[in-house]
């Protein structure tokens, strides 16, 4: 099945809405973003016995990509030029404008100015834990390279 609208177009639509919300310092709620996107496309949906299937599929894929797009914003790398589109709060080198936090069982992109101390402490603890694991992972990669080199040398000497 070939379509003129796919993940690329849906991501673009989601990110346009997320850009607007961020410009207004609004929370990035996947469910709300999904409903807005789906609401904008209801005219294309036939009203027959198959409509619930297409509504479910459209909602499910949009919700999945909305969550992916919101989470990707937290993981964005800094802009090399440091322009106004930088994801970092002015005056800070790493403090992001938005963080994805759990609120009422849902991942929500929240402006850092609206994050609670508890949410920020939890994010700091997560980053510390991840940094230890990343260092250990890097060490293990290097250990593997050394092991592999030794295996190749042994095989060449046999």
Per-residue pLDDT of the chain (158 residues; tens, 9 = 90+): 667 888 999 999 999 999 999 889 898 999 999 999 999 988 877 888 888 898 899 999 999 999 889 888 876 655 443 445 567 788 888 888 888 888 888 888 899 999 999 999 999 999 999 999 999 999 999 999 999 999 999 999 98
- Cβ pair 85, 79 in contact under 8 A: yes
Closest CA to 34 of 45, 52, 18: 18
Locate the domains of the chain by residue range.
Answer: 7-115
Per-residue confidence (pLDDT) for residue 1, from 0 to 100? 62
């Amino acid at each position: 099945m070939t379509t003129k609208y796919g993940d690329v177009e849906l991501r673009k639509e989601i990110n346009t809405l997320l850009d607007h919300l961020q410009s207004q310092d609004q929370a990035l709620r996947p469910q709300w973003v999904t409903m807005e996107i789906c609401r904008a496309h209801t005219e294309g949906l036939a009203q027959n016995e198959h409509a619930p299937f297409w509504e479910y599929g459209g909602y499910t894929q949009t919700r999945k990509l909305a969550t992916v797009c919101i989470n990707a914003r937290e993981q964005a790398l800094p802009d090399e030029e440091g322009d106004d589109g930088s994801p970092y709060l002015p005056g800070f080198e790493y403090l992001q404008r938005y963080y994805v936090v759990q609120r009422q069982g849902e991942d929500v992109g929240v402006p850092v100015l609206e994050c609670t101390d508890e949410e920020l402490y939890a994010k700091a603890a997560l980053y510390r834990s991840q940094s230890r694991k990343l260092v250990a992972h890097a060490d293990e990669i290097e250990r593997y390279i050394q092991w592999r080199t030794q295996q190749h040398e042994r095989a060449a000497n046999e």
